[in-house]
Amino acid sequence: MIEYKLGYFASSLCGHDKGRIYMIVSEDGEMVGLCDGTHRCVSNPKKKKKKHIQMMRSEKTAEAFPSLIQSGDADSRIREAVRRMEERQK
């Protein structure tokens, strides 16, 4: 069974946002909350079914997630992390 950890990155597999990279910020049953820091922020994450995303493991960001989410500039830090992950994917 796949473990969806908070702080992991995920790529959308379907929908109008197909291919967009997000960070997992919440998990609720078969749904996850996704944030990219630009279009979707921590206070209003995009809800998506787990079967509609491709998870990308990132132990480093998962370990730093609790401090990242509590910081005042969480959206800008997530935006920067997502940007770096997009650059690595190219």
Res. 21: pLDDT tops 70: yes
Res. 90: pLDDT tops 80: no
- Per-residue model confidence (pLDDT) at position 57: 83
- Tell how strand 9-12 and strand 31-35 pair up: unpaired
What number is the average pLDDT over the span 3-19? Answer: 93
Question: How many Å apart are CA 90 and CA 74, to the nearest integer?
Answer: 25
Q: DSSP strand E in the chain: where? A: 9-12, 21-28, 31-35, 46-49, 53-56
Total-model pTM: 0.91
23 three-state secondary structure: strand
Question: How many Å apart are CA 38 and CA 32, to the nearest integer?
Answer: 18
Res. 3: pLDDT tops 90: no
Task: Quick: pLDDT tens for 33-87.
Answer: 999 999 999 999 999 999 999 999 888 888 989 998 888 899 999 999 999 999 9
